[in-house]
Structure 1
Amino acid sequence: MNPTRRHLLLGGLGLGLAAAWPAWAQDAPVIAVASDLSFAIRELVDRFAADTGQQVQVTLGSTGNFARQIRAGAPFQMFMAADESFVLDLAAEGLTDGQGALYAEGRLSIVVPKGSVLKADGTLHDLGRALGDGRLNRFAIANPEHAPYGKRAQEALEHTGLWEAIKPSLVLGENVAQAAQFAVSGNADGGLIAHSLALAPDLGAGVQSALIPSEWHNPLLQRMVLLRDAGPVARAFYTYVQTAPARDILARYGFSLPGQG
């Protein structure tokens, strides 16, 4: 049984979400980027341009949707996924230039807006109490069917025994950035989102968050890969993401390399 689906409009946060393929500029490669990187990628692209004089275009969305678009021939030159399994599947199908490289391990956080009936409680005890006493109205996660952070949110809720009880209250974002918007904009009482988004100053004043134990869900091993037709600028950006300046940016948004945090 799928969680209840509610259709809500996305506003604020300034997040570009890939619903269709835009008409790309001819002189800058397009990078498909998982939406948990919505804020970190801005700094990465700006720093890359400042350091190299080269530019890339970014489109943000859910990892699963991007994988489907790549199979359908979308004109991306590089893919930064939130779950490495999607990259490895594409590589096995011969659609990428090798298997790529791990660039980060993500974490999951609970986030609640100012004035919420919920507490930012990483144990999810208060969420369970809110389900029992009727305080909870709506709770946001990304769609588990194609968004890795949504799947990990489901796993965490299953770990705590809350999944079945919370399903009627779920608001599903198309990706984790949209789930974050729902969680902090008054469309929900809170949500489980990427820790990287919870750390972003743009999220809003008064928003509180807490990390969810990583052992409650499968790891969020994030892998990037070049597509077969990647040009020199995309290849330069792929290399740049693995440099110390880029890793410093990712670290500020709560990302670490697997085994390093």
Structure 2
Amino acid sequence: MPITLARRQFLASASALALGAMPLAAQGAAPVVAAASDLQFVMEEIAAAFTAETGMQVRLAMGSTGNFARQIREGAPFEIFMAADEQFIADLHAEGLTRDAGDLYAIGRIVIMAPHGSALVPDPELDTLAEMLAAGQITRFAIANPEHAPYGMRAREALISRGLWEDLQPVMVLGENVSQAAQFALSGNAEGGIVAQSLALAPQVAPRGTWELIPADWHQPLRQRMALLGNAGPVAEAFYDYLMQPAARAIMERYGFVLPGE
């Protein structure tokens, strides 16, 4: 969907409300973990706990799964890739770019979220959204770009299931990733949006709005998989193993993820 001038202006105005994604550092020997942006606050906690326990450090690069997959194909020096959709790992593995098929680390959920003061009151069936849209009371509604962000793909599927996708097109604002979609949804310049539950639960985000889970059967599951890349070294291997341990899994669970084997 093309982005109009008005949308571009909105994107620029919302950019000041960033949720604090860490850019890929250019210097240092610590391995770089490319992680889907729904993991923003989760990974900050896990990486800090890993360093406290082991003395080893990793660097975090947060962004959309699709963009990271493209960068990996272009030779980006990531050592771990934590995707929001396991198909991206499967495709990279088939191309010989991961060590193996990786591991399922979590299943995510999407929510409808609105900032405090919005006329949009989140409900699981999106009834209020439908009513306000029919009345012309939705001016902007944010999701991640479904062309390359799995949380945007699932948001599109849910909106199609509810019969709202086409009607929302004139007011849709697309974030580069789900973290940016949350910025837009909570900026005060939009009535709300569809974002990751893990972001809605984050202490840095939760006080800014209200949210409700969207039915899981309205969209394909967000089966999130990770893998070591071909250049992964010992620190990356240690961090990958740590991600499967109880301490890291407890942090994941606190942010609303369903964990494999549970």
TM-score relative to the length of structure 2: 0.94
1:131 and 2:133 are equivalent in the alignment: yes
TM-superposed deviation, 1:22: 4.6
Q: In the TM superposition, what is the alpha-carbon distance from 1:203 to its structure 2 partner?
A: 1.1
Please state whether the residue corresponding to 1:201 is helix, strand or coil: coil
Taking only aligned residues, the RMSD between alpha carbons, in angstroms, comes to 1.4
Q: Distance in 2 between matches of 1:208 and 1:92?
A: 41
Identical residues among aligned pairs (%): 56
2:27 counterpart letter in structure 1: W
- 1:16 offset after TM fit, Å? 2.0
Asked whether the 8 Å contact 2:120–2:128 carries over to 1, the reply is yes
Deviations 1:160-203 (Å, cap 9, x if unpaired)? 00000001110000000000000011131100000000111111
After superposition, the Cα gap between the structure-2 partners of 1:42 and 1:22, relative to the gap in structure 1 and judged at 3 Å, is: closer
**How many residue pairs get matched?**
256
Rounded Cα–Cα distance in structure 1 between residues aligned with 2:159 and 2:206: 25
CA contact (8 A) 1:15 1:60 kept: no
Alignment correspondent of 1:251: 253
C-alpha displacement at 1:139, in angstroms? 0.1
CA deviation profile, 1:72-128 (whole Å, cap 9, x unmatched): 000000000000000110000000110110000000000000111201111101110
**More divergent stretch after superposition (199-208 vs 58-67):** 199-208
Structure 1: 5+ residue runs without aligned partners? Answer: none
Residues 49-198 of structure 1: pairs in structure 2 closer than 5 A: 49-198=51-200
Partner of 1:15: 20
Amino acid at match of 1:230: A
- Does residue 24 of the first structure (1) align with residue 33 of the second (2)? no
The one-character-per-residue Cα deviations of 1:123-149 (angstroms, maximum 9, x if unpaired) are 101110011011111000000000000
Q: Is the CA contact (8 Å cut-off) linking 2:63 and 2:177 kept in structure 1?
A: yes
Distance 1:14 1:217 in 2: 26
More helix by share: 2
The answer on whether the counterparts of 2:84 and 2:223 sit within 8 Å (CA) in structure 1 is: yes
Contact 1:15 1:177 (C-alpha < 8 Å) held by counterparts: no
Q: Which deviations, in whole Å up to 9, do the C-alpha atoms of 1:210-259 show, x marking residues without a partner?
A: 00011100000000000001000000000000000000000000011246
Cα offset, 1:56, TM superposition: 0.2
